Amino acid sequence: MKEININSVNHAELVSGCQPPVPAADGVTKVMEDGKAGNQIQALLERNENPPEVLAGTTLHRPMRNFSPISGISKLLKNLYLCGGSAASVAMMQQLGVTFVINATTVTELTDTPLPAEDTRYLRIPVKDNREANLERYFHEVADMIEEESKAGGVVLVHCVAGISRSASLCLAYLMKYHRMSLKDAYNHIKDKRPQIRPNVSFVKQLMDFEQKLYGTRTVTMVYCHALDQELPDIYEPEFRTMELLYQKFRRNIARR
């Protein structure tokens, strides 16, 4: 097993001369006076905060497609896969020809990922999935390593616990830096391949800053969600639209009393 020392990489490295791309959520429910409406909103929130690792059928009216034949693994590019920790088995990685594994969890969450071969490269990004975590410090180095492996003809698998927040954020950073995608386009691309992704709001803000540093622009903005009484990325608006409609209906019912 070739394990990479993350501390040996220059975390301060920034991209110079980048051209413009080609054309973060811990939900806090608002206290509700009406129990039924409050329960409906809370149920919607919990469903969005804790999506299943693998969804069947459709999610938020997005068809499931471009998945690998192996359950739980999402093929983002011909040489890049995304999944949760439980799906990262030796048999699966051997079938996909994985040569580089990136584990975006702390040692208290998951043990080291079992590797398919002795010469498989391995990298752990020890970051928790919370609003205080600084994942941006790893965006450049992880993107560089994925690109290096790709150019060498290798296959990269990125995972965290569920394949929803941390690992998805690292893949977003890679698409932005090396495939010259805007944050919005990169998010839509991965969302199409793996509908359950939803980086926490803090990570989205860090990706927004990353996009600003790369290209001098931002394609994602924060919008206020009344139902949660907090700001959310506009790319999450379709997911919370039903919740917002329930909240507005509740407010109208209160006003009539």
Q: Give the structural domain span for 232.
A: 221-256
Indicate if 160 belongs to the active site.
yes
59 occurs within a structural domain:
no
Q: Each residue's pLDDT tens digit in the chain (257 positions)?
A: 555 545 444 434 434 445 555 443 333 333 333 444 444 444 444 444 444 433 333 333 444 344 444 459 999 999 999 999 999 999 999 999 999 999 999 999 999 999 999 999 999 999 999 999 999 999 999 999 999 999 999 999 999 999 999 999 999 999 999 999 999 999 999 999 999 999 999 999 999 999 999 999 999 999 988 777 889 999 998 777 776 666 676 667 777 76
Q: Are residues 225 and 200 in the same domain?
A: no
Residue 209 and residue 126 share a domain: yes
> Is residue 166 domain-shared with residue 107, that is, in the same domain?
yes
With a CB cutoff of 8 Å and minimum separation 6, the contacts of 105 are: 85, 124, 125, 126, 160, 161, 166
Do 77 and 124 reside in the same domain of the chain?
yes
Query: What CATH number has the domain bearing residue 165?
Result: 3.90.190.10
Residues 85 and 172 in one domain: yes
pTM: 0.72
Say if residue 232 is in the same domain as residue 203. no
Is there a single domain that holds both residue 198 and residue 210? yes
**234, 206: one domain:** no
Residue tagged active-site, from 18, 83, 160, 171:
160
**168 shares a domain with 117:** yes
